[in-house]
Copies of this chain bind each other. A is one copy, B any other.
Amino acid sequence: MPGPRKWRHRHQRYFERWTAPRESILDLLSRTSKHMSAKEIYAILYRLSPGIGLTTIYRTLDLLVKMGLINKFTIGDGQSRYEFQHEDKKGHHHHVICSKCGKIIDYSDFLEDELELVHKTEKHLSQKYNFKVLGHNIEFYGLCEKCQ
Contact = CB atoms under 8 A, between A and B. Distances in A.
Contacts of A132: 142-143, 148
B140 A121 contact: yes
Contacts of A143: 131-132, 134
A26 to B, nearest CB: 22
Q: Which of A99, A117, A128 has most chain B Cβ within 10 Å?
A: A117
Interface in A121-148: 121-122, 124-125, 128-145, 148
A13 B54 CA distance: 44
A130 B109 CA distance: 16
A74 interface: yes
B117 A105 contact: no
Given A74-B76, A109-B121, A142 B137 contact: no
Contact of A124 (B109, B120, B141, B142): B109
A113 interface: yes
A137 B76 CA distance: 13
Contacts of A142: 131-135
Nearest to A129: B105
Interface of A: 74, 76, 96, 98-99, 105, 107, 109-110, 113-114, 117, 120-122, 124-125, 128-145, 148
Complex A-B, nearest 5 residue pairs according to Cβ-Cβ distance, in ascending order:
A134-B142, A130-B145, A133-B142, A132-B143, A132-B148
